[in-house]
Chains A and B, each alone.
Chain A
């Protein structure tokens, strides 16, 4: 199986069409504008030829996540939870003020904390959607979150586990 497939960023593509000429399989010439992933063999000729650097080669199989010691994971979660506590209070403050500028400040602080928590969660074992960890989490949520079961099943189907 091919290791990569080409992906065309349609926001950058200037439709110069060099990729169409160099592609050995015709995958780059597709009515949808996107590469035909079923034909693409990941040779990279299109990416090299593209004058707009609009094509990226994406691995078909993501490398596995770096493992983390449980002690590190715990420590990261601890920090994340202290940030979560701040968000909970900030959300309360946000609800209780009518002053527009104050609302903006609280929103900014919520956003900053959110970015921080997401980073921490990434390193705490949820970096890749294709990881075993994510897969197990989704399996668990499938039962516990009946109202979102459909979405979760779709994710489980679409995300092939890489490890």
Chain B
């Protein structure tokens, strides 16, 4: 008997309690919680190999921040101000963020390029996670766990889009969870985000 876990939302499919074995599920079966395809599931290994714990060295120095980095540092600080009900400060940070975003470079590329970057990102997340584990940085581990989920999700969306083309997104709405970045393709969003569990109020329709 095997168990499988959805890499996007964490849903567990346990052969021991289900009527149909995971292997025998049809290819178009999807995760009952978040709608990800069957390919998003990985087997849960019982004796989990211990988390890798090793500091991955990187000799690149911390340099001055780029316009792109400043864009998101400022938009994140705006969010922090919002949580403290500091509206004026929030707006000032948003304005700074906009200023830097206007200077952001736009690059010509293809979805293939994004797929490659996505793979690179996935590997970097794993390295960062082992560094954070070794240095016992709980906050960093938490944020990297989220990052890995979005990264897996991006991969699935790109694969799906490559396979099905425009049919994949035709005649349907697209939604994004403003809290964790989960993307939902369908007419009505789930009541709570299957990944981070915020209510659908925070799941915004892309216009």
Residue B93 is within 8 A (CB to CB) of chain A in the complex: yes
Report the minimum CB–CB distance from B100 to chain A (whole Å).
Answer: 8
B125 touches A79 (CB 8 A): yes
Residue B81 is within 8 A (CB to CB) of chain A in the complex: yes
Interface centre among A92, A104, A108, A113 (most CB of B within 10 A): A108
Residue B206 is within 8 A (CB to CB) of chain A in the complex: yes
Residue A58 is within 8 A (CB to CB) of chain B in the complex: yes
Residue B121 is within 8 A (CB to CB) of chain A in the complex: yes
Tell me which residues across on chain B come within 8 A of A147, comparing CB atoms: 99
Known: A79-B144, A88-B107. A113 touches B181 (CB 8 A): yes
Contact pattern, B 134-175, Cβ under 8 Å of A = 1, otherwise 0? 010101101110110011011001000100001001100011
Report the interface size for chain A: residues with CB under 8 A from the other chain.
70
Report the interface size for chain B: residues with CB under 8 A from the other chain.
80
B58 touches A107 (CB 8 A): no
Tell me which residues across on chain A come within 8 A of B144, comparing CB atoms: 76, 79
Query: A78–B104 Cα gap in the complex (Å)?
Result: 18
Query: A43–B75 Cα gap in the complex (Å)?
Result: 33
Partner of B58 from the list A71, A91, A104, A145 (CB cut-off 8 Å) is A71
Query: A131–B38 Cα gap in the complex (Å)?
Result: 44
Known: A88-B104, A112-B182. A158 touches B89 (CB 8 A): yes
B157 touches A109 (CB 8 A): yes
Residue B84 is within 8 A (CB to CB) of chain A in the complex: yes
Residue B80 is within 8 A (CB to CB) of chain A in the complex: yes
Query: A112–B99 Cα gap in the complex (Å)?
Result: 21
Name the residue of chain B whose CB is nearest to the CB of A145.
B99
Query: A113–B107 Cα gap in the complex (Å)?
Result: 16
Contact pattern, B 171-207, Cβ under 8 Å of A = 1, otherwise 0? 0001111111111000000000000000000001011
What are 21 inter-chain pairs, A to B, with CB distance below 8 A? A70-B62, A71-B55, A72-B128, A74-B58, A84-B72, A85-B117, A86-B114, A86-B117, A88-B105, A89-B113, A104-B169, A104-B206, A108-B183, A111-B206, A113-B181, A114-B75, A116-B147, A118-B75, A123-B142, A134-B77, A148-B99
- 4 closest A-B pairs by CB: A112-B181, A75-B128, A89-B109, A115-B181
**Chain A residues within 8 Å of B, Cβ to Cβ:** 7, 9, 56, 58, 62, 66, 68-93, 95, 99, 101-102, 104-105, 107-109, 111-123, 126-129, 134, 137, 141, 145, 147-148, 151-152, 154-155, 158-159
